Structure formats: structure tokens, C-alpha cells
Amino acid sequence: MSRTLLCAALIFVALIAVITSLSAENAFVWNLPGGFPAPRVPVDNPMTTAKVELGRYLFYDTRLSANQQQSCASCHQQERAFTDGRARAVGSTGEMHPRNSMSLVNVAYVGVLTWANPTLTQLEKQALVPMFGTEPIELGLSKPGSVLLERLSRDARYRSMFAAAFPDVSQPVTVENVTKALASFERSIISARSPYDRYRTKRDNDAITPAVRRGESLFYSQPFSCFRCHNGFMLGGATDFEGRSAAGEGGFEFHNTGLYNLEGLLSYPSPNTGVYEATRKPEDVGRFRAPTLRNIAVTGPYMHDGSIATLDGVLDHYAAGGRTILEGPLRGVGHENPNKSRIIRGFTLTADQRADFLAFLNALTDEPLLHDPRFSDPWTKH
């Protein structure tokens, strides 16, 4: 009897050891840079290495589009800090997206995910938009996603990866788990290795030039007030993290920068009318999220519709306190847009100040990120 009990105890201990070693092996380690708080991760989708790796394979897999022509990476290219270099994205069927592809860098810290939808706050839900959305068509999949699931299930690699990522379910190849894995991979894309990061977090004064330091001071100074929308460690708006309190940090903000001022009810061209698209409140016309400025030098063209080609052009827009378009259907004086943020008042910019601003913005590029094998296309290796 005692030998039986001893054997049972030994087997139990061995099982615990195996389970512990497996979970330790699967545990995702953030290795967050200094100054970065813990990201907010949904309780029902904790980070694991298996999910992150599965998400990476899915992210770069053209089987995620109905016609197998595009993957997530088609519009979110690593070498462009996960943007696409186009003014506006183009979907798998050739349909043009109304908006510019947003960077996925540090998206784990973004509280509202798109340019102007205050209700889209979770990456798992956002992934469904490009997968199944019809206005516009992006990946062009049809609900409920049977074609995709059949494609994935036929692949032995995926059968194994899904089983490892979702070990508690017998049928892990589901649309929900595809979005969970994609979200996990996206959350893992953390960027903080720019020259400016080295200056700020490591006090490495040699990491940046005097021009960058001057540009930083301009960025944070009152006449320019860039920091009021592009703030904190993200140098962007709508930053979220674990433990963030809306009372202490304020709500997520959207801004009308005076990019357009069309005549009529809608001062911004449809369908890009900003938060108004979700709320239908007139005061929300033209209000968009301030994106992160990290890696901004490699993520042009700029603005929600990619309508400004260069950072020089963006500085011109803000210096004028809004863009004036003299001719054509978009003509109007953006400076006079009735919804324009009171922060956007315009300023005078000398040639030296412009050069300093550009030096600062260029110092925000995390060059290693653009080639980091952890975020690269896994299919090119096989």
C-alpha cells in the first residue's frame, strides 16, 4: 500500500514538473525597455510564446486573404515600421482603403486602434475588420471564415502550432484563435531602440546630435506644442497600459487639425469624416487620433488619408495652423475649420528650427526594429 502511494506521489510530482517546465517554456517574457509600463493584455488572451509565434506565421500568410494575394504584412511591412508606404492602403481585390495604414509598432499600448473609431479598443476584435470587412474589402474573407479554417487545418505546421498555442481545446483552429494569435504577435512588437531612446533612457548624450536636442526642446515648447497630442513614452495619443486610470491620465482624445474645410455639413471629405463616422455628432467631424511619432521618418505618407507626402509638408500644415487647398473639390481653408483643435494655432518656423525638428523626428527611428528577426516573415526561411 505504501509502495503504491509512493509511486502515485512520484508520478504526481513528475507530472507537476513537466507541466511547470512546459508553462515556463511557453511563458512570454516582455523584456520591456526602461520607462515602458506593463501593457494591458486581455484576461482571456494571455501572452505566450506559442501564440506569438503562431500569430507571426499567420500575419505573414497570404492564405488569410480570400484570393491568397495579401497577408496582414502587405499593408504592415516591417521595414516601414509596419506601414506600407502608400498614401492609402490597397486591399487584396484592388480596392483602395480610405485611410493610411497605421503602424503596428508598440500597438500593445494603443487604447483606440484605428484612426477614428473610439469603440475599437481590442486587437482581437480589430483583426476581424481587415479579415471580413467589406467597406472596404481588405483581406476579403467571407464569414464565418470556413475557407480560411479549412486552409489552415490542411497545413500540418498549423495543426501543430494551434495545438501548442491553445492546448486546452480539442479543435483549436478557429477564427477566434486566429485573432488571438494575431493580437499576441502584434502586442509583441515593441520598439524603443532609437537614438532618441538611448539618449532618454540611457543618458547617452552621444546618441543624438545637438540639432536633435534643439528639436526636442522645440517639440516640447509652447509655441509649437507638438507634445500636447504626441506625448509620453509613445509620443502619441490614446496611450493605454496596465493600471492606467482615465481619471489620472485623462480620456483618449481625437483632434481636428484643420486638414480640410469643405463647404457644407461635412467639412472633411467622406468617408473620412473622423470620429463622426462612429458618433454622428457634428462636432466630431475631422477628429482623428494622434498616432505615435516613433519611426515617423519611415512611415510616410502622413495624416489619416496620406494626403501629405513628407514630414516637411506636415510641418508646413501645422505652421499654417491648418491646410489651405485653393482649387478642386477639396478646396477650403483648414485653418478656419469650425471643429479645429484650439491647440492648432499655427506658428512661425525658421529654416534652422525646421532642420532641428526634422533632426528630432529622424532620431525617433528604431533601425534594429525594421530588421528584427523576431518580427520578420517566418515563411521566407522555409
Minimum Å gap between C-beta 289 and other proteins is 17
Minimum Å gap between C-beta 341 and other proteins is 16
Minimum Å gap between C-beta 349 and other proteins is 14
Of positions 24, 31, 170, 243, contacts other proteins by CB under 8 A: 243
**Of 48-56, 184-192, 245-253, 304-312: span binding other proteins (CB under 8 A):** 245-253
Could you tell me if 322 and 257 are in contact, meaning their C-beta atoms sit under 8 angstroms apart?
Answer: yes
**Of 8-16, 32-40, 49-57, 291-299: span binding other proteins (CB under 8 A):** 32-40
Smaller CB separation from other proteins, 216 or 284: 216
**Of 10-18, 36-44, 183-191, 290-298: span binding other proteins (CB under 8 A):** 36-44
**Of 89-97, 124-132, 200-208, 260-268: span binding other proteins (CB under 8 A):** 200-208
Q: How many CA atoms lie within 13 A of 77 on its CB side?
A: 12
Smaller CB separation from other proteins, 198 or 213: 213
Of positions 61, 84, 216, 284, contacts other proteins by CB under 8 A: 216
Asked if 294 is part of the footprint of other proteins (rule: CB under 8 A), the reply reads no
Asked if 246 is part of the footprint of other proteins (rule: CB under 8 A), the reply reads no
Asked if 241 is part of the footprint of other proteins (rule: CB under 8 A), the reply reads yes
Asked if 336 is part of the footprint of other proteins (rule: CB under 8 A), the reply reads no
Minimum Å gap between C-beta 30 and other proteins is 13
Minimum Å gap between C-beta 102 and other proteins is 20
